């Protein structure tokens, strides 16, 4: 074969090889490497969940006035499946935690147990408490242990049926926390999460957020009063609303000194003026 023909044949073979490579990308490649690029479905799902957790933000975006999905099902500390709607039938304090947390969550629930006896409201009648775990791997036994621990910490008679400790599946937990604007993520065996509880009315609408590790009796009482459907007397509530105003930046109730002192001064001046007018009329008579 002449050199020219050999050159043409080599060019033709090279062209065919390039065309085959473009048409069939796996042509001439290592199939073991391709299998490695396409992991099993289960492994891929776990990897996607891990990536989602890594990208998740830890923040609180308040959703005041928004309803929670009360049809979601959770498991209570007795192992019974129960809908949130069965628990949220009156003003309800909702506290997201995870039971194996030995720091913030324990302080939060311990502080709540300490404050509850100071409330001038009847647990179970005027309000309920719902604590749920954000860790889907936690069990009914852990929920029952936490309930026993913190009911004991109250150190006063407290109706067990008024404080519920729940566990749930991942998709239900996420639906609930997303609706509340409560965003967290897992880091190792722990969770990074906002330190907050929120109060809802009997329709499951968020009325107030209470942030921080420490519950203030006045803040909690006022939030529960706001959530009540006139369960507490209207004049008392109106008087409290007049004397105290909600500070959205500090997320707490503050005594409105200027409003109260101004009202007292006006009432005093009005009373003195009325006295002068009436006493002047008596003298003329």
Domain boundaries, the chain: 59-232, 233-285
Q: For the chain, report the end-to-end CA distance as a whole number of angstroms.
A: 146
In the chain (285 residues long), the average pLDDT of successive 10-residue segments reads 49 50 41 36 47 67 90 94 93 93 88 92 92 94 94 91 94 94 88 90 91 85 81 42 58 63 75 73 63
Class of CATH domain 59-232: alpha beta
Q: Give this prediction's pTM.
A: 0.63
pLDDT score at 141: 95
pLDDT of residue 197: 92
Q: What is the DSSP track for 161-222?
A: GGEEEEB--HHHHHHHHHHTTEE-EEETTEEE---EEEEE-TT-BEEEEEESS---HHHHHH
Residue 54 confidence (pLDDT): 52
Question: Among residues 168, 146, 138, 213, which one has the least CA distance to residue 69?
Answer: 168
């Amino acid at each position: 074969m002449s050199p020219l023909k050999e050159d043409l044949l080599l060019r033709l073979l090279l062209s065919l090889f390039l065309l085959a490579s473009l048409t069939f990308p796996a042509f001439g490649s290592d199939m073991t490497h391709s299998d490695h690029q396409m992991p099993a479905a289960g492994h891929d799902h776990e990897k996607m969940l891990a990536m989602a957790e890594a990208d998740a933000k830890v923040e609180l975006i308040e959703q005041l006035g928004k309803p929670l999905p009360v049809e979601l099902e959770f498991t209570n500390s007795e192992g019974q499946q129960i809908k949130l709607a069965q628990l949220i039938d009156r003003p309800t304090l909702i506290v997201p935690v995870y039971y194996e947390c030995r720091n913030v969550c324990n302080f939060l629930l311990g502080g709540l147990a300490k404050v509850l006896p100071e409330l001038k409201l009847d647990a179970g009648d005027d309000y309920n408490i719902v604590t749920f775990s954000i860790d889907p791997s936690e069990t009914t036994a852990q929920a029952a242990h936490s309930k026993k621990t913190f009911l004991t910490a109250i150190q006063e008679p407290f109706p067990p049926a008024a404080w519920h400790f729940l566990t749930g599946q991942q998709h239900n937990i996420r639906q609930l926390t997303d609706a509340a604007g409560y965003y967290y993520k897992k880091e190792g065996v722990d969770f990074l999460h906002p330190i907050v509880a929120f109060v809802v009315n009997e329709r499951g609408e968020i009325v107030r957020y209470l942030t921080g590790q420490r519950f203030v009796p006045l803040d909690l009482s006022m939030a529960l009063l706001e959530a009540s459907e006139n369960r507490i007397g209207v004049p008392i509530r109106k008087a409290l609303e007049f004397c105290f105003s909600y500070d959205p930046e500090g997320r707490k109730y503050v005594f409105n000194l200027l409003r109260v002192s101004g009202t007292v001064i006006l009432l005093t001046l009005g009373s003195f003026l009325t006295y002068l007018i009436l006493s002047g009329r008596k003298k003329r008579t």
